[in-house]
Chain A
Amino acid sequence: MLITWLALKDLWRERFYLFCNCALLVGILVPLLVLFGVKNGVYSALIGEMMENPAYLQIDTAGNVTLSEDDLAPLRGWTEIAFMTPKVRTQFDYMNVRQNSGRRIRQAVIVPSGTGDPTLPPGARLDNSNVAVSALLARQLELTPGASVQLISQAEGRPRQLVLDMRVGLVLEDRALGGRAVLVPFETLDLIEAFYDAYALPDYGIESGKDIAGRVPAYSGARIYARDLEALPGLQTRIEVQLGVTTHARTADVTSLLRLGRNLTLALSLTAAIATLGLAAALTLSFWSEVARKRRVLASLAMLGLTRRQLALFPVVQALVAAALGLVLSFLLYGIAGRMAQHWFGQGLPGGRNLSVISMGQAVMISLAVLCIVALAAAVAAWRAQRSDPALVLREVS
């Protein structure tokens, strides 16, 4: 295309002005990119740390409450809930755990769990004979996946112990669950509670006691996990209203971090908006003044027969080339600045994450936005260029 060739020839001959415009872009874009990258990096590190710890998603009913299946049934359809399990009375959720081949016994808390529990790795399944154990308990009893264990309970007034033979399905990581704990399906805990409530459990060798058929299950609360951090505050309120109970959750921490993220985004957006206005004004004036400076060149092109549309493209092509070059330089310098920042300040971030992060998608969006701003700024120059008076060349005497 002829006008592109002419614009590039002129741009190359006047590359000093090209570098001026690039410097203008780089001077504004690089600080913004660093700010944006650091905001992304720090925030995603903090959020990531929260996301990796399911405890931040957990909502527990507080105090002594009694819930029936009818109370909990409506909650099972709520989309904000990722996982929910009823709880038994707290005095019954401790048992002795013994490795079958060993003599060591440790007391551990028995936690109701099941498929979808964020405490478990994705896809992990528990059943009445497969349990998950915490890392601390596994270390103390030298348990590995596949090991056989016994869960043993002794209740006052019951001549026999309840002994449940289980296999270790998986050993959780330390950060997933602290202390000594065993994760079992809720049905196992319900069984333990029935044992304490003096029901006969012939399948486990306990013949004496009340008939289990007459037992109506009652729950002493529920353990619920929100779908994500954003859903947690609203879900906690909704549960409290629905069940008429108070709950515990780390909502304050989550809300505080989410607010920090929103505030950082707002502050960065305001900074970016002001910088964008400045950039657009500076580029508009720069492109305009270049067209004014090149009025004889443009008039010559008009005299030789280039159309107004072609003349309008002349500064636009040059502006877009300057923008593309400015973007490449800006991302290059951002990369260098990001590495330096990571070297000096990045050690304290959780999980060894990068201090400054801009994803490929974000980089593309930023580039498109900059090209749009430059194109708009160049449009003013284009309007000026297409009005070039071809008679100027004959009339002006240098």
Chain B
Amino acid sequence: MTAQGGLTVRNGAIEVADVDRVFRVEIDALDLPPGGVIALSGASGSGKTLVLEVLGLLRPPARGTLYAAAGNDLAALWSRGVAGDDLAHMRATLFGFVPQTGGLLPFLDVADNISLPQRICDRPDAAWCSELMERLGLTDLRKLWPDALSIGQRQRVAIARALAHRPAFVIADEPTAALDAQSADQVMALLLEVARDTGAGLLLSSHDTDRVTRFGIEMRRLAPFGDKPFTTRLEAAPC
């Protein structure tokens, strides 16, 4: 199964209120076609993770944001509040996540961690899990616990888990930040390869612009917007 339809944001904004200030990220337009890859770059604190959180249905966008993916009006899901089951179901079925530190569940072994999204979405496919583990070099590690793995191995497990249920999109936040250069290249290559083969759109954030450029990934930068304080904006055109 490949992703049906792309991801589109129009007039997007994200606001995070602090005690005495409001941090705002603006996204005039963002389009990610099925199977496409976009990397968000920017300085620390520019809001890369915030954007990924909103796109992954982990945080609500500001009022007025138009956000659709794979034919679903995702912005409308938030109107029913954060407690809505639809939000959780849509997050489970549309997205796969690769957190910076893997985000693996410590009480499940590698194989169970990878198959968990299939269980949540009720899409069991043991053969696909096996194939993912084979391609990511995890077959021999399948019975190990996450705390027995290196950081690179954990990231590979996280990639397999993110793709196990064949989501339309994969969201990866600094997926190589915790790795040495060689491991980072290896993990990035695997992520791109497997995402491309499954047809999943890939949205990642990275401050490592050299690596992103080297892998030929379209990059969009978050930069301070005009003279507005605590406001950044996703640049319209690729860098």
Report A's interface with B, CB cutoff 8 A.
2, 6, 9-10, 12-14, 296-297, 300-309, 386, 389-391, 393-398
Contact = CB atoms under 8 A, between A and B. Distances in A.
Contact of A14 (B53, B82, B107): B107
Given A393-B103, A394-B52, A394-B103, 10 more contacts: A2-B119, A9-B107, A9-B108, A13-B106, A14-B107, A305-B121, A306-B92, A390-B91, A393-B99, A394-B173
Contacts of B112: 9
B83 A308 contact: yes
Nearest to A13: B107
A305 B117 contact: yes
Contact of A306 (B52, B56, B88, B103): B88
Contact of B58 (A306, A386, A390, A396): A390
A394 B53 contact: yes
Interface string B111-135: 0100011011100000000000000
8 closest A-B pairs (Cβ-Cβ)?
Answer: A305-B92, A391-B58, A13-B107, A10-B107, A393-B103, A307-B88, A391-B53, A9-B107
A301 B101 contact: no
B173 to A, nearest CB: 5
Nearest to A393: B103
Given A309-B85, A393-B99, A394-B49, A301 B107 contact: no
B169 interface: no
Contacts of A300: 103-105
A390 B49 CA distance: 13
29 contacts: A2-B120, A6-B107, A9-B108, A13-B107, A14-B107, A297-B106, A300-B104, A301-B105, A302-B88, A303-B56, A304-B91, A304-B97, A304-B116, A304-B120, A305-B91, A305-B93, A305-B117, A305-B121, A306-B88, A306-B120, A307-B85, A308-B82, A386-B83, A389-B58, A394-B53, A394-B58, A394-B100, A396-B101, A398-B101
B35 to A, nearest CB: 22
Contacts of B92: 304-306
B63 interface: no
B107 A12 contact: yes
A398 B59 CA distance: 21
A87 to B, nearest CB: 79
Nearest to B151: A398
B117 to A, nearest CB: 6
Contacts of A13: 106-107
B159 to A, nearest CB: 14
Contacts of A386: 83
Contacts of B99: 303, 393-394
Contacts of B119: 2
Contacts of B108: 6, 9
B143 interface: no
A397 B88 contact: no
Contacts of A398: 101
B107 A303 contact: no
A322 to B, nearest CB: 16
Select the residue from A12, A304, A391 with max chain B CB neighbours within 10 A: A304
Contacts of B59: 391
Contacts of A302: 88
Contact of A395 (B49, B88, B89, B105): B49
Nearest to A389: B58
Contacts of B89: 305, 307
B100 A397 contact: yes
Nearest to A387: B82
Contacts of A395: 49, 53
Contacts of A391: 53, 58-59
